[in-house]
Homo-oligomer: A and B are copies of this chain.
């Protein structure tokens, strides 16, 4: 602003001067503030450095509600996590509808499809493009960059994006926004008629070719340009024969150079070296590059405002930089940012939600806030964001009797994971109920655990927290849906299975010929418990029975809730040599092994109570045989009572609501199974006093 006391006419004069310059750009097609001579080179004067007054006369922003297009190439588990943080940063500042064009491999597609479907952000639409199909277009180019083939795919975007699309912003997955992407989009206005590619100068000396002896980079104009952030004028690129152009250039250079070192960036720079008229240099703040030997400081020390940070070192956030802390804080902001808060409408823009989300919103609106079970009903309807296979995962090879352990947990059970991995050597599918910030802690926990980091057969699915009640059955359903073996062991996180259980279950499935006979069976794994933290786990049924007799172990919930496991018939199990059939009875909730296409858990049971009981009823109603396995067992370890169980015990409303949901569940059962469901209703009566 103007210093106090100076005549306002002087302010007006300054402004007029600035304006004449800006208007000059419009009329004559070159902006001295943005031109290659000045702002875009590291040795010049960066955008808006000396005085914000002039630079912040921003370029014309897009119209309210104008749709902006963004293209990103993303492959694999780790890049999928990265891209979500990038998207969060974009969504945080954006005020326009966005259309994302995502070029993905199968892994990223399945992760991101689930994520965006459950995220339900208004005014964001997605289209996927199969990276597999693009490989033939670029796989002939030898490449040494860590992005592999995928980096090169940016070159073919003009050929594969819809013909109707005239402009697109292309982003690497390792950038973070700290400003509205509309401001970046607005820079298209400054392109001259010939300019088709907007890029920021490379903020390192790489392309100068003097980094070490015999360092031979690809040709580039000066320091070259970085392709982490690109503005593509697609229509003109297509007209100018872009596809021919870059292929020719790449082939020519590959005659003397063996491979690309920096993937697409080498090719882009080679083309630009030959055709400098194609490039529109962007202000350096739109791609602040934190590579290992970055010169970015020359940009950001002067600039008033950083727009996009680019973590283009292979070390990513661990890059050595004296201001790294500052940039990390920006990035951590979005890593830990609660994604559900980005479900913000754009006021005044039409039709922003997919139909599914629209219906959900209406259902939510119909709930009665004064009803005593309102909180429960709201929780039941809540659609949680789901990030499947958060960490690298190798699906198990197809084997007809294989079993996946299925369970769910939240942060306070993380310390169970290592022990669980030691006890169960087979595949697992685990749903974790976490905040975005906790998901990062979890990531760190796994990466630093020698036991967990080597297990690629454990799939972790993050279900993001929302609402006050623990959505236990929704979590179980997520883990169950992601199990990839023909059978699943439906367990709980506080149980450690017998060391032999994984092998024994597969052998039992084979012996019982469950798959070949298409036998509808639920194999019961008898449950025990210990009250001691330090406890030497029995290596066999014989050892377990000794501990049981010594009073060091109990059958599960023997004192508090015997009917939960009574039908398992522990006395018979002691002696049993072969699987034996048991009958359903009220409140039975054993841990079972079933085919993975078994019924889902009923999501109406949130918080504490009846969540497994209802599932066993469903199995029984669908005529699953209940077969107890004579050598199987698992043992519950002690833990402090959950907040949900404390609330259940202290709140009459909580108990009343659970009762109401049990009745609704029974009504649904009658509707679906008719008279056959009567036995469950009859059985319900005497147990009403409890949960």
Interface residues of A (CB under 8 A from B): 1-2, 4, 8-9, 11-12, 15-16, 19, 22-23, 26-27, 29, 49, 51-53, 56-58, 60-64, 66, 95, 166, 185-186, 188-189, 235, 300-305, 323, 325-326, 329-330, 332-333, 336-338, 340-345, 347-348, 412, 414-415, 435, 437, 444, 468, 531-534, 560, 637-643, 646
Contacts and interface: CB of A to CB of B under 8 A. Distances in A.
A444 B469 CA distance: 13
Please list the 6 inter-chain residue pairs (A to B) with the smallest Cβ-Cβ separation, ordered nearest first: A12-B26, A329-B341, A53-B60, A19-B19, A52-B61, A639-B640
A405 B19 CA distance: 67
Given A61-B56, A533-B640, A415 B646 contact: yes
A60 B344 contact: no
Given A2-B60, A60-B11, A61-B56, A323 B343 contact: no
B57 A58 contact: yes
Contacts of A8: 26-27, 29
Nearest to A328: B341
B347 A300 contact: yes
A94 to B, nearest CB: 11
A27 B12 contact: yes
A1 to B, nearest CB: 5
A34 to B, nearest CB: 15
Nearest to A2: B189
Given A11-B189, A347-B323, A56 B60 contact: yes
A301 B348 contact: yes
B23 A19 contact: yes
Given A641-B415, A646-B415, A95 B338 contact: no
A60 B302 contact: no
Contacts of A337: 333
Residue with the highest number of chain B CB atoms closer than 10 Å, among A64, A189, A343, A638? A64
B305 A95 contact: yes
Given A1-B60, A1-B185, A52-B64, 20 more contacts: A1-B61, A1-B62, A1-B186, A2-B189, A8-B27, A19-B19, A52-B61, A53-B60, A57-B58, A61-B304, A95-B304, A95-B305, A323-B345, A326-B347, A329-B342, A329-B343, A415-B642, A531-B638, A534-B560, A639-B640
Contacts of A26: 8-9, 11-12, 15
A412 B415 contact: no
Nearest to A343: B329
Given A61-B53, A66-B1, A347-B300, A332 B341 contact: yes
Given A186-B1, A330-B344, A347-B323, A640 B643 contact: no
Nearest to A450: B650
Contacts of A415: 640-643, 646
A64 B304 contact: yes
Nearest to A64: B304
Contacts of A643: 414-415
A343 B26 CA distance: 40
Given A437-B435, A640-B639, A51 B27 contact: no
A53 B58 contact: no
A560 B533 CA distance: 11
Nearest to A435: B437
A613 to B, nearest CB: 21
A3 to B, nearest CB: 9
A605 to B, nearest CB: 21
A338 B332 contact: yes
A63 B345 contact: no
Nearest to A20: B19
Contacts of A185: 1
A16 B11 contact: no
B338 A437 contact: yes
A330 B91 CA distance: 12
Nearest to A56: B61
Contacts of A53: 60-61, 63
Contacts of A60: 1-2, 11, 15, 53, 56
Contacts of A66: 1
6 contacts: A8-B29, A9-B27, A52-B62, A301-B347, A332-B341, A639-B640
Most chain B CB atoms below 10 A, which of A301, A302, A347: A347
Contact of A341 (B63, B333, B412): B333
B15 A23 contact: yes
Contacts of A63: 1, 51-53
- With most chain B CB atoms within 10 A of its CB, the pick from A16, A56, A338, A414 is A56
Nearest to A235: B4
A437 B338 CA distance: 10
B641 A533 contact: yes
